[in-house]
A and B are shown apart, each in its own frame.
Chain A
Amino acid sequence: MADVHLPSALRPLFADLPRTVEVEAPTVLDAIDVLDRRWPGLRDRLCGEGPALRRHIHVYVDGERGDLATEVPPNARLEVIAAISGG
């Protein structure tokens, strides 16, 4: 199982969404789809058409920048980050 760390901005939008969720999925996109089944609409907040990650949403798998196709090994740490921007 991978640990998925989610951005805090998502939590007000989905009831009972924790900061960290355990997910078993082969890729980042699959992991997001697993979360979307539990919290419908979550994928739309992270992905746009394509699907592609939204411009200011970044993912890191075990510390390495990834994308939706990046593999998620068992016991990986998958961080989903709302990029720092603005002023």
Chain B
Amino acid sequence: MPKTVLLVGTRKGLLLLESDDRREWNLRGPLCESWPIYNAIIDVSGAIYAAAASEWLGSSVWRSGDLGETWTQSSKGLNYEGVHDEGLKLNKISSLASAHGKVFVGAESVGLFESTDDGTTFSLVSTLDGAPGREIWNDHAMQPPGHLGLSAILPFPDSPDHIRVIVQGTSTFDTTDGGKTWEPRNRGLRREWPPPPDEEVGFCVHKLAQSPDPDRWYQQNHVGMWRSDDGGMNWIEISEGLPTEFGFAAAAHPNDRETFYCIPLDPGHGRTMPDGQAAVWRTRDAGSSWQKLTNGLPGRDAYVGVLRDGMVRDEQDDFGLYFGTSTGQIFASLDEGDSWTELADYLPPIQSVRVATLA
């Protein structure tokens, strides 16, 4: 029986939930000296990396090679020293990815870094110079509150030079030359605010999820749920049937390109699930219709939110689906969302949930 490990990044450190059967879970933590954790991953070697941003001691990537028993941390090279734009300052690191023997780190001010020595040192890959919108997205006067900068990194497994990223509040971008040039991927999206000077960008992309079909992608953004059937080049809206257009978290089915999950939220200040009822929404027909999944979730007075990296699925054949809330609960489903079980409560506010299956 493989071991399943949930990495739960919270405002007060990293927590690990471990299980041999995905029914009985053991909680460990808080780890990383309780620094706020924006994201955490396990790479193919089983090493854990956590993107941490301390109010006092700055941002650093924590690494554990023994499943959280011992840790090191480093931010060597995670800065904008020597970059021609002297206004750049690394305020936080918010996203992580691992691929092709590298660890990638996304930051605010907007930048993509990589490590080729297991997180000991980092080097700047790109500040997305030349990309449309580049001239304004590091301007604090133009940013949304709590700006994450480069909020997602999605390397393509079969093409080391092809990386997709999200710049929060601006755009999805692709590079196919290892970060030298970047192209927006927003065609077909709508917005409900004035466009920036370059109308190719100015879209508030929250989450991208790839289906098992590499051409089929899903997107949750500020004003809707969207689907692409051509690898992200063009998008069509699939929001009809959902209670709100707004949400952060999303996950794709591992084997069925038509099935996809999201968690709609009230779009105002609250950003909690509508009507105080926790619910995950599922489509089995690529967004033509949606089912509200509530079995096992709090049915009333539950004003909970889920952030953009707050939902994930594991890689097992009978896959598990997990989400963590802004009020410190973890829920899991082992039947494709039909029913849910609470795995943990009273955790600090959860900012990310990732999962790994270890042999």
State which residues 65-117 of B face A: CB under 8 Å.
Answer: 73-76, 78-81, 88-90
Known: A41-B75, A44-B75. A49 touches B88 (CB 8 A): yes
Contact of B56 among A12, A41, A49, A57 (CB under 8 A): A57
Q: How far is the CA of A41 from the CA of B61 in the complex (A)?
A: 12
Asked if B60 lies at the interface with its beta carbon under 8 angstroms from chain A, I say yes
Contacts between chains A and B (CB distance < 8 A), count? 49
User: Which of B55, B75, B80 has most A Cβ within 10 Å?
Assistant: B55
Q: Residue B345 at the A interface, CB < 8 A?
A: no
Query: Using Cβ atoms and an 8 Å threshold, which residues of chain B touch A57?
Result: 56-57
| B61 shortest CB reach to chain A, Å | 11
Report A-chain residues with C-beta under 8 Å of the C-beta of B56. Answer: 7, 9, 54, 56-57, 82-83, 85
Q: Provide the residues of chain B in CB contact with A26, threshold 8 Å.
A: none
Establish whether residues B90 and A44, one from each chain, have CB atoms under 8 Å apart when the complex forms. no
- Is there a chain B Cβ closer than 8 Å to A74's Cβ? no
Cα-based distance from A13 to B73 in the complex (angstroms): 7
Contact, CB under 8 Å: A13 / B55: no
Q: Kindly list chain B residues whose C-beta atoms are within 8 Å of the C-beta of A41.
A: 73-76
Residues of A within 8 A of B299 (CB): none
Query: Residue on A with the closest CB to B57?
Result: A45
Q: Once bound together, how far apart are the Cα atoms of A40 and B76, in whole Å? A: 9
* Most interface-central of B55, B56, B79, B89 (chain A CB within 10 A): B56
Determine whether the beta carbon of A12 is less than 8 Å from that of B60: no
How far is A85 from B56 in the complex, measured between Cα atoms in Å?
9
The interface residues of chain B lying within 8 Å CB-to-CB of A10 are 57
Known: A13-B73, A41-B74. A48 touches B57 (CB 8 A): no
Residue of A12, A48, A83, A85 touching B58 (CB-CB under 8 A): A48
Q: How far is the CB of A14 from chain B (nearest CB, A)?
A: 10
Question: Is the CB of A86 closer than 8 A to any CB of chain B?
Answer: yes
Within 8 A of B (CB), among A40-62: 40-41, 44-46, 48-49, 54, 56-57
Max chain B CB contacts within 10 Å: which of A9, A12, A44, A46? A44
A44, B89: Cβ atoms closer than 8 Å: no
Contact B90 A49 (CB under 8 A): yes
Given A9-B56, A54-B56, A57-B56, also A44-B88 (CB < 8 A): no
Q: A13-B73, A41-B74 are in contact. Are A49 and B57 (CB under 8 A)?
A: no
Q: Which of B33, B57, B73, B78 is the one whose CB lies under 8 Å from A54? A: B57
Residues B58 and A45 in contact, CB atoms below 8 Å apart? yes
CB A42 to nearest CB in B, in angstroms, measures 10
* Pairs across A and B, CB under 8 Å, 9 listed: A7-B56, A9-B54, A9-B56, A13-B57, A40-B76, A41-B74, A48-B79, A49-B88, A56-B56
